[in-house]
Amino acid sequence: MKRLLLLPIVLLVVLGALAADPPLLQPSSYLPQAQAALQAGIDAIAEILGAGYPVTHRQLENRGWDDTDFMWFVAGTINSFGYQVKIVSVDDWNGEPHAFILVGIDLGDDGTAWIPVEADPSFLDSFWLLGAIPWADEGSMTLDSHYLSYDRVLEEVKVSPPDISLIVPGAPVIDSPAAITVIARGRSIIAYQWSIDGGDPITSISPSIWQTFTEAGEHTVSVTVIDELGGRAEAQGTFEVLEKRHQCHCSNP
């Protein structure tokens, strides 16, 4: 009796999962009015994957990450930019199981386009890449057909940002180093990306930086904190840098 009772329940769960699975189509299959939003989404995903993230092979080795760990990091990173993300698997990919990432691009009234992503840490033109969209040919808009089917959805990825607090200097003076610190709570942090007065980001694995200011007045600092699951949090602060204090070394008459 137990087997007879469980069978409809199992079938209901499986059929429900299949109905919820997102379909995969070639970009050319979408209606013309959806093409602009689709192209913008594809370009944005490619930019995320090639943004020169501070994740190097050395960091992966030091953390003991394998390909699966890195794939989850990439999936979480894309999700942290506001995209729907799923990890799916194929049972027989050249004789063995294989998992890859699906990213949902919102097309408004035309639904959601799901684009595959293969996570792969690589180095190109002085930047570390997180992976790539698997096109059939370089420069084409036709997806590799191997990525247009899968057997199951393993997980819908939803990451939360790390909880951070930025501590700016109290009363720094020009030409003297000042410490800027961010406190992160929760998951292990991969990297900190700092920007002073809107300048180019400086990547660090330390939660503190020292900065020497040569001009008095108001200055700004922003930091992006990236954790091990790809979660991102940003904070910004302002502070006043003072002129040097002049000391009088004169003696009384």
pLDDT surpasses 70 at 120: yes
pLDDT tens per residue, range 138-170: 878 899 999 999 999 999 999 999 999 999 988
What is the predicted pLDDT for the residue at 125?
52
CA dihedral of residues 13, 15, 16, 21 (deg, nearest 10): 120
User: How far is residue 139 from each of residues 104, 112, 143, measured CA to CA in Å?
Assistant: 21, 23, 11
What's the Cα-to-Cα distance from 106 to each of 83, 110, 113, 179, rounded to whole Å? Answer: 8, 8, 7, 42
Q: Taking the domains of the chain in order of start, what are their residue ranges?
A: 21-157, 163-241
CATH code of the domain occupying 163-241: 2.60.40.10
Q: How far apart are CA 116 and CA 135, in angstroms?
A: 9
Give the C-alpha separation, 75 to 85, whole Å. 6
pLDDT digits (tens, 9 = 90+) for 24-82: 999 999 999 999 999 999 999 999 998 766 655 556 666 677 888 889 999 999 999 99
List, in order, residues 6 or more apart from 188 with CB less than 8 Å away. 227, 228
**Tokens standing for 78?**
């894309």
Entry pTM: 0.79
